Amino acid sequence: MSSFKAGEAVWIAKLGNLRNAIRQELIGRQLDHHIPSGATMLDVGCGQGTQAIRLMHRGCTATGVEPSPELLAMFGADAEEASLEPELLLGGIEQLDELVGTRTFDAVCSHGLLMYLPDTARAIDTLARRVAGGGLLSVTAKNAHGLAMRPGLRADWPAAIAAFGTTTYRNELGVEATAHRLDEIERHLEASGFAIESWYGIRVFNDAISGEINPPLGGRLEPILEAEELAAKTDPYRWLGSQLHIVARRAGE
């Protein structure tokens, strides 16, 4: 079970905002460096299918696993409009073995899910078992290293002070969730036989902006993305991103 359901309506209402546009575009551009055209991909907690659709446009085959019928229907409708044919499976990570059996995939993605799950080690191991030999696992998590940044930049001093010494937070959907440290995720990945290939900090400069701002912002979006893309892969900036995007490969393959 995850705690996401309470925030689902807000998630859907805010899907088109600038915060999400930056996050999705950065993750997409980063995946372009790791997932080759033609790969098979499994997206667990795929939601509306943004990354799966992007990868299908590059010739990948996508399977989406999602417990929300509303979000899965949105994914299906967008895919149909683009004449794409993903495999859509209704259910959660808890039912993954039932849903996909013993199949493995060149790339397994799970973005925006770990923060809502009670057992990170188990979730990572469940995802890892679905990755084919030599394949990739791509996960995003709320960044525990920079938890005070958003309230601090918004001058919410009590919340900024409270963010030190904790890994829980109330997110933009109004849901209590859990942040993760890079070393914690790395330990779980290693236990499942994976080594980190690259990691990125998502939304370094734009995490404090309001959820009410929507793109396209005229020609201003591209320079925002370019600056964020550079910060996402450069120390020390990436440590302060709102989320960690971690791409790992099966060790020794």
Ligand X SMILES: C[S@@+](CC[C@H](N)C(=O)[O-])C[C@H]1O[C@@H](n2cnc3c(N)ncnc32)[C@H](O)[C@@H]1O
Closest contact distance (angstroms) between CB of 20 and ligand X is 7
Closest contact distance (angstroms) between CB of 128 and ligand X is 15
Nearer CB in complex with ligand X: 113/248: 113
Closest contact distance (angstroms) between CB of 113 and ligand X is 5
Query: From the list 111, 150, 203, 245, which residue makes contact with ligand X (rule: CB under 6 A)?
Result: 111
Question: Using CB under 6 A, which residues numbered 33 to 52 contact ligand X?
Answer: 44-47, 50
Nearer CB in complex with ligand X: 1/191: 1
Question: Using CB under 6 A, which residues numbered 42 to 101 contact ligand X?
Answer: 44-47, 50, 66-68, 71, 92-94
Question: Using CB under 6 A, which residues numbered 204 to 243 contact ligand X?
Answer: none
Does residue 127 interact with ligand X by CB under 6 A?
no
Can you give the three-state secondary structure of the chain, one letter per residue? CCCHHHHHHHHHHCCCCHHHHHHHHHHHHHHHCCCCCCCEEEEECCCCCHHHHHHHHCCCEEEEEECCHHHHHHHHHHHHHCCCCCEEEECCHHHHHHHHCCCCEEEEEECCCHHHCCCHHHHHHHHHCCEEEEEEEEEEEEEHHHCCHHHHHCCCHHHHHHCCCCCEEECCCCCEEECECHHHHHHHHHHCCEEEEEEEEECCCCCCCCCCCCCCCHHHHHHHHHHHHHHHCCCCHHHHCCEEEEEEEECCC
Nearer CB in complex with ligand X: 111/238: 111
List of residues contacting ligand X (CB under 6 A): 2, 4, 11, 44-47, 50, 66-68, 71, 92-94, 111-113, 116
